[in-house]
Copies of this chain bind each other. A is one copy, B any other.
Amino acid sequence: MDTTHAHPTIRRQVYIHLEPTAWTRRGLSLINRFICGLIVVSAALAIIETEPEISRAYRRMFLLMEWLAAAVFAVEYAARLWVCVENPKYGEGWRGRLRYVVSPLALVDLVALLPVLMLVGGTETMLLRTFRLLRIVRVARLGRFSRAAQRIVDAVRSRRYELGVSVCTAIFLLIVSSTLLYLVEGDVQPKAFGSIPRSMWWSIVTLTTVGYGDVFPITPLGRILAAITAIMGIGLIAMPTGILAAAFSEAIRQQERDNERQDSDPR
């Protein structure tokens, strides 16, 4: 970049306001805040619109809002395409623009524009519209959140074998308990326990302590087995929780030790 530019060009200024990583002031630029808000509103509307009672009453409003949002996103896309060459990552000229267009970020932007095109054809676009939420990750500068997410992923990964053992134990419990309940209650309640896959529905609902109550054993032996399954379900929750707690604890300790080492380092 030419540093003699006292007044940056309009393209550069638009770039600075659109690209969160180029924004030097605190927080987000006004434009990106507005786009963030519009993404959330647009996704919320896509969710609410599926409710027939509401969508019938406010059909026009929903359509108008969707067209408006799409128009803003289209303008945003065009603007990003115009200023992308300011980013040294993509390079200048039409080659730089092409490189930008096929980048994952720009493709997500493009997909977020699709719903309005399909709206013309009348197809179900709700999924594509909630998909827009992903763009938040790109528009907002989520530095501290993504570092926190990284810490969580690291902690989970450092204990992946222990967590894997928990999952295997859970699958084992699931198969054993649903097989036993199938054998014990299969004849009495064929609809709920008439096969192992059917029993598995009960078993998962019990092991996760959800307990809808649509299926439950009625024979004494079935109830004893169900009681044991429910108690095992507590272990199923306690084990990964304990492993994760230890992993997060270790991650915090590790971080502190690194800080101390840095402090005592003479260089």
Give residues in A with beta carbon < 8 Å to B: 43, 47-48, 50-52, 126-127, 130, 133, 144-145, 147-149, 151-152, 161-162, 164-166, 168, 170, 175, 179, 182-183, 194-198, 200-201, 204-206, 208-214, 216, 220, 223, 227, 230-231, 233-253
Contacts and interface: CB of A to CB of B under 8 A. Distances in A.
A52 B133 CA distance: 43
B161 A144 contact: yes
Contacts of A227: 200-201, 204-205
A42 to B, nearest CB: 13
A13 B148 CA distance: 50
Copies in the complex: 4
Contact of A211 (B47, B196, B213, B248): B213
A234 B237 contact: yes
A208 B231 contact: yes
Given A127-B183, A211-B211, A250-B253, 11 more contacts: A47-B175, A50-B195, A126-B179, A144-B161, A197-B220, A204-B230, A209-B209, A212-B216, A234-B236, A238-B241, A250-B252
A83 to B, nearest CB: 29
Contacts of A235: 240
Contacts of A126: 179, 196
A237 B231 CA distance: 10
Contacts of A241: 237-238, 241-242, 244-245
17 contacts: A48-B196, A50-B182, A51-B194, A51-B197, A52-B195, A152-B165, A152-B239, A201-B223, A205-B227, A209-B209, A212-B213, A237-B241, A241-B245, A242-B245, A242-B246, A243-B248, A245-B248
Given A147-B161, A223-B201, A234-B237, A175 B211 contact: no
A227 B204 CA distance: 6
